[in-house]
């Protein structure tokens, strides 16, 4: 097989590009920003100056920096781009058009799919970093119709999560955050008729198994979405027998 260089790249084999906030959270295995989370190579790019506060505050002035970082990922061979903060989704449509690549910036984009999976009359429990930011208006902005089937529980009052993720204290106690994530999932599943849970925040996938074990429900998160897109970009070659 004959190979040819592309775009003066100096590395290859990374189909998924991941835009990162400019934050100092310890990104543990299972987190979107930890390379060992994946069964395939990914390429990361920090968007300098794109802080947690600017993301939650929906600062539109960050777009040019987001586009520059995305173009760097594209120039280095990635074929689809995601991020590590769902509030990046405000720039979803514009970035798709400017890049000409598949872009999927929020785990919330799985909501239409999940709605088709759960039985009629059941809802989706959404665990998010800060409930105050996940408003019906925000969902409408990213083309996710709000509705009575969405039940949102925030982690902003969970002490360890808030200190580690929102306040960026520099340390993270995974056991405590797992307890907080499970508690949030139990609140939403106990109060409503829930058919599935979506962990909206990119920091929460490490706790998906514990949430599933505690609730017995299907759990979706950023990693289920990224894996789905990767396998669409790189379909499996089947080898077996009959």
pLDDT score, position 4: 86
Q: Per the structure block, which two tokens stand in for 100? A: 């000409």
pLDDT score, position 7: 77
pLDDT score, position 133: 86
Contacts of residue 115, defined as CB under 8 A and 6 or more positions apart, other chains included, come to: 124, 149
Low-confidence ranges of the chain (pLDDT < 70): none
The CA distances from residue 233 to 15, 81, 101, 208, 236, in Å, are: 7, 12, 12, 24, 10
pLDDT score, position 191: 75
pLDDT score, position 59: 80
Q: Cβ(201)–Cβ(127) under 8 Å?
A: yes
CATH of domain 16-106+226-233: 3.40.50.1860
Q: Which fold, 107-221?
A: Rossmann fold (3.40.50)
DSSP 170: S
Residue 134, CB-side half-sphere exposure with 13 Å CA sphere: 25
Centre a 10 Å sphere on the Cβ of residue 152 and count the other Cβ atoms it contains: 18
Q: Is the overall model pTM greater than 0.85, yes or no? A: yes
pLDDT score, position 58: 81
Strand order of the sheet with strand 150-154? 150-154, 123-128, 194-199, 219-220
Q: Cβ(233)–Cβ(15) under 8 Å?
A: yes
pLDDT score, position 91: 93
CATH 3.40.50.1860 in the chain is located at 16-106+226-233, 107-221
């Amino acid at each position: 097989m004959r190979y040819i260089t592309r775009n003066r790249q100096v590395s290859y084999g990374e189909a998924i590009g991941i835009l990162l906030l400019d934050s100092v959270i310890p990104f543990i295995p299972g987190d979107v920003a930890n390379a060992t989370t994946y069964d395939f190579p990914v390429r990361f790019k920090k968007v300098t100056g794109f802080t947690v506060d600017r993301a939650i505050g929906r600062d539109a002035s960050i777009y040019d920096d987001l586009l520059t970082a995305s173009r760097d990922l594209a120039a280095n061979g990635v074929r689809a781009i995601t991020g590590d903060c769902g509030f990046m989704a405000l720039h979803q449509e514009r970035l798709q058009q400017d890049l000409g690549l598949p872009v999927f910036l929020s785990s919330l984009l799985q909501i239409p799919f999940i709605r088709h999976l759960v039985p009629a009359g059941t809802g989706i429990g959404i665990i998010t970093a800060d409930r105050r930011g996940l408003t019906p208006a925000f969902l409408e902005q990213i083309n996710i119709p709000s509705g009575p089937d969405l039940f949102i529980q925030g982690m902003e009052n969970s002490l360890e999560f808030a200190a580690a993720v929102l306040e960026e204290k520099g340390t993270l106690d995974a056991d405590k955050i797992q307890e907080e994530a499970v508690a949030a999932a139990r609140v939403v599943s106990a109060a409503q008729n829930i058919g599935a849970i979506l962990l909206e925040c990119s920091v929460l996938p490490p706790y998906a198994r514990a949430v599933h074990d505690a609730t017995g429900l299907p759990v979706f998160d950023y990693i289920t979405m990224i894996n789905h897109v990767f396998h669409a970009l790189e379909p499996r070659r089947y080898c077996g027998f009959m």
